[in-house]
Amino acid sequence: MKARNVLVVLGLIAAVAATRFFSHPMNFSPVMSVALFGAAVFFNRYLGIAVAILAMAVSDIFLGLHSTLPFVYASMALAGVLGFFLREKRSPLKIAAMAISGSVLFFIITNFGVFLMTGMYPYTLEGLLTCYTMALPFFKNSLAGDLVFSGSLFTLYYFFVKRRFTASTANAT
């Protein structure tokens, strides 16, 4: 990997990690969107997922570690894999569908982790349903963040990279 690419990746990790320290609604974050976007756009599709997970890991060192982190990181990786479906052909509808799917995956997996690991809910079907019900406000924020940040990343990429590259290639011929 070229030195410039390494600096870009390290800068992106630092920038995404830093966003977790800003005041924002709980779970309204660009991290999942970076995994989705990176998996769809980066030359190495796994690099986008790695950037998001490394940004989480760096910030978690300062924000605190907890028993549900394996569920958080696994759900981010799986949601990032959805970006593979955006590598060849993208549309606003397809991007929104992948962002929503990632939000749903994150919600299901992480809250199952809360149910299993925290002892906050009885280990019954009712306890599991209560766990998911109590997490709905967080899901609303995750979904909004994933849609806003995914839309922003893919839009910026289209207008400032893809369109410019396509235009310069067409002018060169």
Angle at CA of residue 66, ends 56 and 61, nearest 5° = 45
Quick one: pLDDT at residue 172?
57
Q: Would you list the DSSP string of 71-109?
A: HHHHHHHHHHHGGGGGSS---HHHHHHHHHHHHHHHHHH
What is the chain's pLDDT, residue by residue, as a tens digit (173 residues)?
A: 678 778 888 888 899 999 999 888 888 999 999 999 999 999 899 998 999 999 999 999 999 999 999 999 999 999 999 999 999 999 999 999 999 999 999 999 999 999 999 999 999 999 999 999 999 999 999 999 999 999 999 999 999 887 766 666 555 55
Range of the domain at 144: 3-172
pTM score of the predicted model? 0.88
Classify 13 as helix, strand or coil. helix
- CATH number, residue 57: 1.10.1760.20
Closest CA to 142 of 45, 39, 24: 24
The total domain count for the chain is: 1
Token pair, residue 128, equals 């599991």
